Structure 1
Amino acid sequence: MLRDMYSNILKIHNNLQSRTDARVKDYPLMKSPVEMTTILLAYVFFSVYVGPRLMANRKPFSLKKPMVVYNLSMVLLNAYIVYEFLMAGWGTTYTWRCDLVDTSNSPMTLRMIQAAWLFYFSKYIELLDTVFFVLRKKQSQITFLHVFHHSVMPWSWWWGITLTPAGGMGSFHALVNAVVHVIMYFYYGLSAAGPRFQKYLWWKKYMTAIQLTQFVVISIHISQYYFMEKCDYQVPLWIHMVWMYGIFFFLLFSNFWIQAYIKGNRLPSAKKLKMNGSTNDSISVVANGKHLENGHATHYSNGKVLMGKVKEI
């Protein structure tokens, strides 16, 4: 039985390798789904189990400078990804309607493939968001939405660029997501830089709205496929998956918006806070399931942050 199971798994693995587009086979993390799945499972295990236990009896790290460097580096990386997506098709030859997968080896196509892979690889770098939370003992910020979003994106994109690396209309959501991440990480960078930049963060309450708009735009664009008389997109499954992705994450982020901004469930309740100290730091809730602070709380107990003053937005 075990031998048959192993044989079937091996057949599936070999079939995937045979179907992997030759143009991306030599890119890092593209040879097999085993490697990337192992990384993402380790990420989830670290985020929800290992990390919090390692930090339970340790003082939180400040990491202010590393966070500023990291966030601003992510701004530059995502801005470059946006530029490459535009120059490789979305801003040059694409129609923004029924754009098919390009199977050629033209310089423009290879540039689109490189942009798609770079977007995919950036999702592994973004796992550092969670590492920073763990090291700073902000476990309450590592929500289901946060972990799910960070783990599902690179996993699903591996399948996408394995079979359709120059994804045509199926890659539009990556362009939009990279644009949103330029804005998002710019905000994070300013926030991590300290209270003196607070006056430049007046637009923080709109971060969730930007995320929700992202999913609406993605869903509208991909929905064109269902109303066209003819669109011979080579892998219709990706169209359906992108549509479901847009709707599913719109619902998740809408629920976050309702819980955080309407019901206030994700914001600390003054009655639950231990008033054994105070801080002038304010806390805000943003779109990716994170509570971002414009400073650092000063009191800790068993890895939980106890704040004296909280300014709700």
Structure 2
Amino acid sequence: MRSVMAFVWEKIMFVDHNFEDIGAVVADKRTDKWLLVYSPVQMGTIVTMYLVMVWAGPRLMRHREPVDLRKFLILYNMAMVGLSVYMFHEFLTTSWLSNYSLLCQPVDFSDRPLPMRMAQVCWWFYLSKIIELSDTLFFILRKKNNQLTFLHVFHHTTMVLNWRFVVKYTAGGQSFFMGLLNTFVHSVMYAYYGLAAIGPHMQKYLWWKSYLTLLQLFQLVLVFIHTSHNLLIRCDFPTISNLVMLGHTSIFIVLFINFYYRSYLDKRKQK
């Protein structure tokens, strides 16, 4: 028992000798000064404004007519498809050219072109999570308050917080796997939203909505397995980062299973 506890403690406190020791992780000197990364005040202000919008928005719209955003949403969603495809390409190409391992991939903190390219796409992914906060604003303006679920708000809030942490401390390495999967899933998801925004006559072509939720669940399960494996082996990657990712993913899996059950399986039973 003591040997097991010693192993766990060593894993949690393990710090690579190249790090300037600050607990288990230190700021990446390459990304620390980048926009929306350096100070937690910037990110904290954005998240606080977002939560205020979630609370105040529906109240301000209560006696107003829904805003017609159809044409704008078509352009917005297709632009998000383009951004997601670009990031997926960057995650995939950079990890491939860098000979990334799926079993254990430390962060390369050097200024060489490929490690910098990976750090840059991690930052773009973080920025995309901030842009995606607009999804909530569009629901509020269209008075789609039924879409403002705990899952929706929790997802958008925590993804911003989580990926600010990634870019500041571990821009690359094991972190690439979630970015790779998520950009692929979001390419499909925003394509669905873009088609749905065209009009009701598109609904007959959107029969695959439930499969989109399953795709999101499958993504989360893969990230859970990937992160769990990394915790069980000796790998030069901060354990605290893996623990945060594992906890984050576990909560999402539970929430998405609950969402899938209520949205599809429970409705089928009622029918």
TM-score, normalised to structure 2, is 0.86
- Matched with 1:55 is 61
- Alignment of 1:245 with 2:232, yes or no, is no
- Alignment of 1:217 with 2:222, yes or no, is yes
Number of residue equivalences: 248
Greater helix content: 2
1:184 Cα offset (Å): 0.4
- Alignment of 1:116 with 2:116, yes or no, is no
Query: Which runs of structure 1 show a deviation greater than 6 angstroms over 4 or more consecutive aligned residues?
Result: none
1:120–1:154 Cα contact (<8 Å) kept: yes
Coordinate RMSD, CA, aligned? 2.1
Listed as ranges, the gaps of 5+ residues in structure 1 are: 1-14, 270-311
Matched letter for residue 213 of structure 2:
T
1:91 Cα offset (Å): 6.0
- Alignment of 1:207 with 2:219, yes or no, is no
- Matched with 1:256 is 259
Among candidates 18, 23, 35, match of residue 30 of structure 2: 23
Among candidates 140, 147, 151, match of residue 141 of structure 1: 147
Structure 1 residues 72 and 91: CA distance shift in structure 2, 3 A: farther
- Matched with 1:42 is 49
Which segment is superposed worse, 56-65 or 217-226? 217-226
1:57 Cα offset (Å): 1.2
Q: Which has the higher contact order (CA 8 A, sep 6+)?
A: 2
1:90 Cα offset (Å): 4.4
- Matched with 1:179 is 184
- Matched with 1:129 is 135
2:224–2:249 Cα contact (<8 Å) kept: yes
Structure 1 residues 222 and 263: CA distance shift in structure 2, 3 A: same
2:38–2:168 Cα contact (<8 Å) kept: no
Q: Percent identity?
A: 43
How far apart in 1 are the matches of 2:62 and 2:200? 27
Which segment is superposed worse, 146-155 or 218-227? 218-227
1:85–1:175 Cα contact (<8 Å) kept: yes
Among candidates 182, 190, 198, match of residue 193 of structure 1: 198
Among candidates 89, 93, 114, match of residue 99 of structure 2: 93
2:231–2:239 Cα contact (<8 Å) kept: no
Listed as ranges, the gaps of 5+ residues in structure 2 are: 1-21
- Deviation string, structure 1 residues 93-136 (Cα, Å, up to 9, x no partner): 11211111111111000000000000000001101111100000
Matched letter for residue 255 of structure 1:
N
- Matched with 2:5 is none
Give the 3-state SS of the residue equivalent to 2:267 in structure 1. Answer: coil
How far apart in 1 are the matches of 2:96 and 2:56? 42
How far apart in 2 are the matches of 1:90 and 1:137? 44
- Deviation string, structure 1 residues 50-83 (Cα, Å, up to 9, x no partner): 2112211111111000100010100000100011
Matched letter for residue 30 of structure 1:
V
How far apart in 1 are the matches of 2:239 and 2:219? 22
How far apart in 2 are the matches of 1:30 and 1:97? 28
- Deviation string, structure 1 residues 28-58 (Cα, Å, up to 9, x no partner): 11120011111111101111x2211221111
